[in-house]
Amino acid sequence: MAPRAYWKAYLKLSLVSCPIALFPAASEREKISFHQLNKETGNRIRHRKVDADTGDEVDNADIVKGYEVAKGEYIELDPDEIDAVAIESKRVIEIEEFVAKSEIDELFLHDPYYVVPDGDVGQ
């Protein structure tokens, strides 16, 4: 399976702007992952979505988003309404200067990514 871009934006250097896509440089399959287990039984722990009042399990298809307007009082929102109020991000990386690798804290090198031109215009 081909990797999927984590993020798409524009790379801007002075007056030149190029559409880019950001990809992870390491696969999640290469990382070690753990499951939570019950210490007493050794059984795997599962997280379930349940109704806070009834305790009944709720299917993903029956879950909607809501905004709490007062304690315990919610307004249900559909995805179109949420998109309509979402703040548009600039999605531009502006290069101000280049620095030596020795000046970069190793914390920023923990999760490596690579940037590629996005689409025909980027090429």
Q: What radius of gyration, in Å, describes the C-alpha atoms of the chain? A: 22
pLDDT of the residue at 76: 92
**Cβ neighbours of 106 (radius 10 Å):** 6
Query: Tokens 């059984």 correspond to what residue?
Result: 43
Is this structure's pTM higher than 0.85? Answer: no
Report, as an integer, the average pLDDT of 86-103: 79
And the tokens for 13?
């250097």
And the tokens for 68?
């709490």
Identify the CA nearest to 58 among candidates 49, 70, 71.
49
**Cβ neighbours of 29 (radius 10 Å):** 7
pLDDT in tens, 25-63: 876 666 677 889 999 999 999 888 999 999 999 998 999
